[in-house]
Amino acid sequence: MNIDEIGIICKEDDRGALALAARVIDWLKKKNISCLIEDHIAAYLEHEYTEDVWSNADLLVAIGGDGTLLRAARLSSRRDVPILGAHMGSLGFLAEVTEDKVEGAIEAILNDEYIRDERTMFEATLIRDDRIIASQIVLNDAVINKGALARIIEIEVWVDTTFITRYRADGLILSTPTGSTAYNLAAHGPIVYPHVPAIILTPICPHVLSNRSIVLPDSQEVEIILNAQVSSDNIYLTLDGQRGYPMEGGDKLLVKKAGHKTILMRSPQRDYFQVLRTKLKWQER
């Protein structure tokens, strides 16, 4: 892999993540490897912030956990930059290495000893009165949900102009296979292997118990319509759990496979099912 500059990003206001970022930067400098950093890391190190890490890095090292990696995937989504995730003690589904093994993982990547694991992303577009309110690429999910005191909401689901169903529920999750182990799993949706070409629709607390998750091919575009008569109080669209937008009755959400993928760097010794066994504590009594 041809890597000229390595970008270091980390969770803001996390002293542990900042300290690990500083350690990795020092290690890279000793090996004469050029690195780029975020502005808050520069402030922590009392360095001048120069080049844009998102536009120029050939590899991103995301320190802090799955949330930091999701941010890295969103901000670098149109460049197909490989990402190495490092977690701070709590094993994530996406963050690859523990803090004591970050330097060794970078060394292995530079020696072409890591696997490029490509993950499908979705493009989610919120439309109101034929105007685009928001558009973002997501690695995990797009979620419509209501606040604690809001009434149950009604959502129509269409796929390529074909009507599928109408949900009356607390909300709806549209998940990528990568995101199937996130909010989708907590809402009793299925675990889907990351490389299966699928869009997963899972209702949140549906009014009708027979309403279950639907797995669709990701070659289709899903259109979600919020009932025009619904109260717009406390109903939100949340993208990858990081950005939220208030919704109104009649709003449409279009979800389709994005033209870019997230590239996660993975050790050959670590596979998806090993992560599931560890994280979900399978086989434990």
Residue among 31, 54, 32, 260 at smallest CA distance from 138: 260
CA dihedral sign of residues 176, 253, 77, 51:
negative
Q: Are 154 and 99 contained in the same domain?
A: no
Q: Are 204 and 84 contained in the same domain?
A: no
123-132 residue pLDDT tens: 999 999 999 9
Q: Are 142 and 84 contained in the same domain?
A: no
Q: Are 40 and 68 contained in the same domain?
A: yes
Phi, psi of 29 (to 5 degrees): -65, -40
Q: Are 129 and 228 contained in the same domain?
A: yes
What the block records as the tokens of 130 is: 């034929």
Mean pLDDT of 93-120: 93
Residue 92 inside a domain? The answer is yes
Residue among 25, 16, 15, 8 at smallest CA distance from 88: 16
Residue 228 inside a domain? The answer is yes
Residue 285 inside a domain? The answer is no
Residue 23 inside a domain? The answer is yes
For 15, the domain range is 5-114+267-279
pLDDT at 50 over 70: no
- The pLDDT assigned to 265 comes to 95
Residue 88 inside a domain? The answer is yes
Enter the pTM of the model.
Answer: 0.92
| Of 66, 117, 170, 251, catalytic | 66
Q: Are 132 and 101 contained in the same domain?
A: no
Q: Are 187 and 65 contained in the same domain?
A: no
Q: Are 251 and 150 contained in the same domain?
A: yes
- The pLDDT assigned to 234 comes to 84
**Euclidean distance between CA atoms 140 and 80, whole angstroms:** 16
- The pLDDT assigned to 36 comes to 94
Does the annotation count 218 as an active-site position?
no
pLDDT at 285 over 90: no
CB 254 within 8 A of CB 221: yes
- The pLDDT assigned to 209 comes to 77
- The pLDDT assigned to 90 comes to 65
185-244 residue pLDDT tens: 999 999 999 999 999 999 999 988 778 899 999 999 999 999 877 665 689 999 999 999
Q: Are 103 and 125 contained in the same domain?
A: no
How far is Cα of residue 97 from the mean position of the Cα atoms in its chain? 17
Mean pLDDT of 34-59: 87
What's the total number of domains in the chain?
Answer: 2
Higher pLDDT, 37 or 233: 37
Q: Are 149 and 73 contained in the same domain?
A: no
Mean pLDDT of 73-93: 86
- The pLDDT assigned to 141 comes to 98
- CATH number for 155: 2.60.200.30
- The pLDDT assigned to 231 comes to 60
- The pLDDT assigned to 15 comes to 92
Residue 210 inside a domain? The answer is yes
Q: Are 147 and 200 contained in the same domain?
A: yes
Mean pLDDT of the chain: 91
How far is Cα of residue 258 from the mean position of the Cα atoms in its chain? 13
